[in-house]
Amino acid sequence: MIGIDKLPTWLALALGCGSLTAQATEPPYRNPGLPVEQRIADLLGRMTLDEKLGQMVMGGRDWVTPAQVGALHLGTMLSGGDSPPPDPNNPDGWSALIQGYQAAALGTRLGIPLLYGIDAVHGFGALPGATVFPHQVALAAAGDEDLMCRIGAATARELAAVGLYWNFAPLVAVVNDIRWGRAYESLGENTDLVTRLARAYTTGYQAGLVDLGPGLPRPLLTAKHFLGDGGVADGSSHFHLKGVWSRLDRGDTRGEETALLARFLPPFQAQVAAGVGAVMVSYSRWNGTPMHGHGDLLQGLLRQQLGFRGLVVSDWEAVALLPAQGFDQQVAMAVNAGVDVLMEPARSAEVIGLLRTLAASNQISAHRIDEAVAHVLRVKFAMGLFEHPGPVAAAGGLIGSPQHRALAREAVRKSQVLLKNQEALPLRRGQHLRVAGAHADDLGLQSGGWTLAWSGFQGDNARLPGGTSILAGLRQVGGPTTRIDYSANGDFAGPPADVALVLVGEPPYAEWLGDRDAQGLRLSPQDQALIARMRPLARKLVLVLVSGRPLILDQALAASDALVAAWLPGSEGAGVADTLFGDAPFTGKLPYAWPRDADSFLPASASPAERQPSLLYEFGYGLSLTTP
Ligand code: BGC
Ligand code: BGC
C-alpha cells in the first residue's frame, strides 16, 4: 500500500541535498527532507484562523479572481464543466490561468500552493486539441487493466503540461440502473469490474509523471462519489435545475445496509489502498440520509474503518441542499459530518465568513478545523506540490500527441461490442458502403458529455482539432478502393450497395439531464425511420449505436444484419473503423445488461430470475467475428 503521507524517496533525496543556508533560514514545513506529519504540524502551528479557513473552501474560476485567492487564502480552485480559460482555450491559456491563481497563492504570507481541480473524466476534454479518450462505459467494455493504467498516465501528463494535477476522477459508481444520466461516465453494473479497472486507472495516473524528470509532483485523483451514487432509485429524486427535472440523479440509495456496502464500497476500499488522495461526497442520500451530512459513513467508515487520510471534498454546491435551517447550519452540518473542503464555486467568500462565525460560536470546533486543514496539507505535501507548484514543461508536447491518440484508438478498438452478426461483418475493402446517421460524422456526438462543455457539444467538428470522426475513420481505414457515400438522412439513389452502415444513438448530456424513463431509452422514431429507409438500399445493414448506455432497439434489431455498440469513443473514431473492417478483433463485452423492451425494463438489483427474461443480452455478452 502506498501511503499518501510518504514522500517519494526520489523527492526526499533530490531535495535533501539543498543548500545549507536554505535549510537554516527556511521554516521546517518547507523542508522536504522532514516527515510529512512534522511539516503539517509546523505549518498548522503558524496559521491564523483565516488562513486555515481558506484551505477549507474551493472557489470557482468564473467567480473568483487571483486577487481574491490571495485575500481569502483559498487553498483550492476549480474549473467546472463549463469554465475553460476565458480566452484563449489553448494550452497557453490554461497555463496562464492556472499560474495566475497559483502565483496569488504562493504570494501569500505562508506561500501554501494552490490545488486546482478539473473533471478530466475522459482525458483533458475541456481543451480543444487534447486527446479525448472513450468514456468509462467503453473502457468497462474493454475490461483491460493495462489499458486503464496507460490512459490514467496519459491523462495525468496532458493535464500536467498546463500545471493541472488534480482530477475529479475516477467515478467509481456501481450502476444499478442505466436510466441514470451518469451511466456513461461509469464502469458498469458489476462491483468487481468497477473496482479492478478504477484501481488500474489510479495506479497509472499517480505514477504518470515519474519518467518525465526528477522532482515532479505525484498527481492527485478523486474517488467519487462516496457512497452509493450509482444505487439511486428511480423516482427518488425530484429537483428542477437548468430547465430539466431529475428522476434518479442525486436521489436515494435504499436497501439493507450490509448488502449496499458489499455492492458499493469495494471500489473505494481499493482506491484508498491504491493511495488516492481525495474522495468526493455524493449528492445522493443513503437510506434517506444525505451523504453530505452522514458522519457515520464519512468518518466512521471512510476514515476509521478504511483508514483514508487524504481530503474529503463536497460536490458542487451540494451543501446548500442539506436539511438544516439556513446556509450557515448547512455548512456546519457538512463540516461536522466530515467534509474538509467545501466546493462552493460562487459563494467561497460567503462560506469563509460563515465558517468564521461558526468557529467563534464553537459550532465548529478548533479541533475539527485543524483536522480538516491537516487533511488538505497532507495531500499537498505528499504530492510534492510545495516543491513543484508549476507546470511540467517536459509534458508540453504530449497534449493530443500521436502516441496518446494511438492509445485512445486502441481503447476504442478494444471497447467495441459485437452483439449480432449475420454475415455482414467484417466490412471488406473494395465494397460499396452507404453510411447514414448524424452520429457518423460528429465529433461532439461521438464524445458525449464533459467534452469542451459540461453537457458536451454537437454539430461542429472544427471544435475538436485533430479528432477523427467515425466517417473519417472509415474512409481512412477503408482506403481508396472502398466506395463510401455518406448522407446523414439516408438520401441515396441508384442500385443497392453492398452494406448500409447506420450510426444512431444519443445526444450528449450530463448528470440529471441524461436521466430517462424506460421509454426514453428507446431509439427515437426518427432513428427507426432512418433504419427502415436504409434497409432496401443495401444487401446488408450494419447498425452502429453511438451511445452512453444500452438503448432499446424494438424493430431495429430485426432490421439489422449486424449490431455493434460503439459507446462514446471520443476523438479517435478510426478505432471504430478498425474493428468494422476486421483489422482488429471484436473483444469488448457488455458492462451493462441490455434490456429487451421498455415495458419489461428492470434494474440490476432485480433478482436474476426476474430480470433474465427482460434482457436481450446479459452482462458480459459480446461476440467475435469468428463466433459461429
Ligand atoms: C459533479 C461532479 C463534478 C463536479 C465538478 C458536479 O456536478 O457531480 O462529479 O466533479 O460537479 O464539476
Ligand atoms: C458546471 C459543472 C457542474 C454543474 C452542476 C455546471 O455548470 O460546469 O461543473 O458540475 O454545473 O450544476
Q: Per-residue pLDDT tens for 520-576? A: 999 999 999 999 999 999 999 999 999 999 999 999 999 999 999 999 999 999 999
Which residues face 453 on adjacent strands?
Answer: 451
Q: Is residue 20 part of a domain?
A: no
Q: How confident is the model at residue 626 (pLDDT cuts 50, 70, 90)?
A: confident
Q: How confident is the model at residue 87 (pLDDT cuts 50, 70, 90)?
A: confident
Q: Does 215 lie in the same domain as 264?
A: yes
Q: Does 388 lie in the same domain as 243?
A: yes
Q: Is residue 326 part of a domain?
A: yes
Mutate to test the pocket of ligand 1, among 118, 316, 512 (most ligand atoms within 8 A of CB): 316
Show the DSSP H helices in 181-276 as ranges.
191-206, 257-264, 266-273
Q: Does 100 lie in the same domain as 224?
A: yes
**Looking at residues 466-489, what average pLDDT do you find?**
98
Which CATH number do you get for residue 287?
3.20.20.300
Q: Is residue 628 part of a domain?
A: no
- Does 316 sit in the ligand 1 pocket, CB within 6 Å? yes
Question: What is the pLDDT at residue 383?
Answer: 98
% residues pLDDT > 70 (the chain): 96
Question: What is the pLDDT at residue 526?
Answer: 98
Question: What is the pLDDT at residue 402?
Answer: 98
| 177 catalytic per annotation | no
Q: Does 345 lie in the same domain as 207?
A: yes
Q: Is residue 407 part of a domain?
A: no
Q: Is residue 563 part of a domain?
A: yes
End of a domain among 397, 425, 451? Answer: 397
Q: Does 442 lie in the same domain as 298?
A: no
The atom number, within ligand 2, closest to the CA of 78 reads: 9
Over residues 5-30, the pLDDT tens digits come to 443 433 333 333 334 444 558 999 99
What is the torsion angle, in degrees rounded to the nearest 10, for the CA atoms of residue 336, residue 337, residue 338 and residue 339?
Answer: -90
Mutate to test the pocket of ligand 2, among 61, 82, 515 (most ligand atoms within 8 A of CB): 82
The atom number, within ligand 2, closest to the CA of 79 reads: 9
Q: Does 550 lie in the same domain as 491?
A: yes
Which CATH number do you get for residue 517?
3.40.50.1700
Q: How confident is the model at residue 616 (pLDDT cuts 50, 70, 90)?
A: very high
The atom number, within ligand 1, closest to the CA of 168 reads: 10
Q: Are 73 and 47 in contact (CB under 8 A)?
A: no
Over residues 311-337, the pLDDT tens digits come to 999 999 999 999 999 999 999 999 999
Distance from C-alpha of 564 to C-alpha of 556, rounded to nearest angstrom: 12
Q: How far is the CA of 71 from the centre of ligand 1 (A)?
A: 26
| 315 catalytic per annotation | yes
% residues pLDDT > 90 (the chain): 95
Q: Does 189 lie in the same domain as 150?
A: yes
Ligand in closest contact with the CA of 242: 2
Q: Does 204 lie in the same domain as 103?
A: yes
Q: Does 611 lie in the same domain as 502?
A: yes
Residues with CB under 6 A from ligand 2: 80-82, 316, 454
Question: What is the pLDDT at residue 628?
Answer: 57
> Which residue lies with its CA nearest to atom 10 of ligand 1?
168
Question: What is the pLDDT at residue 16?
Answer: 34
Residue 610, domain extent: 416-617
Q: How many CB atoms lie within 10 A of CB 325?
A: 7
Q: Is residue 21 part of a domain?
A: no
Q: Is residue 210 part of a domain?
A: yes
**Looking at residues 185-191, what average pLDDT do you find?**
98
Over residues 246-274, the pLDDT tens digits come to 999 999 999 999 999 999 999 999 999 99
Q: Does 222 lie in the same domain as 274?
A: yes
Q: How far is the CA of 169 from the centre of ligand 1 (A)?
A: 10
Ligand in closest contact with the CA of 453: 2
Active-site pick, 511, 515, 527, 578: 511
Q: How far is the CA of 82 from the centre of ligand 2 (A)?
A: 7
The atom number, within ligand 2, closest to the CA of 83 reads: 8
Q: Does 564 lie in the same domain as 453?
A: yes
Mutate to test the pocket of ligand 1, among 77, 78, 168, 241 (most ligand atoms within 8 A of CB): 168
Q: What is the pTM of this model?
A: 0.96
Question: What is the pLDDT at residue 456?
Answer: 98
Q: How far is the CA of 131 from the centre of ligand 2 (A)?
A: 22
Q: What contacts 547, CB < 8 A, 6 or more positions away? A: 184, 505, 506, 565, 567, 568
Number of domains in the chain: 2
Over residues 53-73, the pLDDT tens digits come to 999 999 999 999 999 999 999
DSSP tag of 233: P
Q: Are 164 and 130 in contact (CB under 8 A)?
A: no
**Looking at residues 154-176, what average pLDDT do you find?**
98
Q: How far is the CA of 309 from the centre of ligand 1 (A)?
A: 22
Q: Is residue 376 part of a domain?
A: yes
Q: How confident is the model at residue 406 (pLDDT cuts 50, 70, 90)?
A: very high
Q: Does 423 lie in the same domain as 340?
A: no
Q: What contacts 80, CB < 8 A, 6 or more positions away? A: 60, 61, 62, 119, 316, 345, 454
> Which residue lies with its CA nearest to atom 7 of ligand 1?
316
SS3 154: helix
The atom number, within ligand 2, closest to the CA of 242 reads: 12
End of a domain among 397, 425, 441? Answer: 397
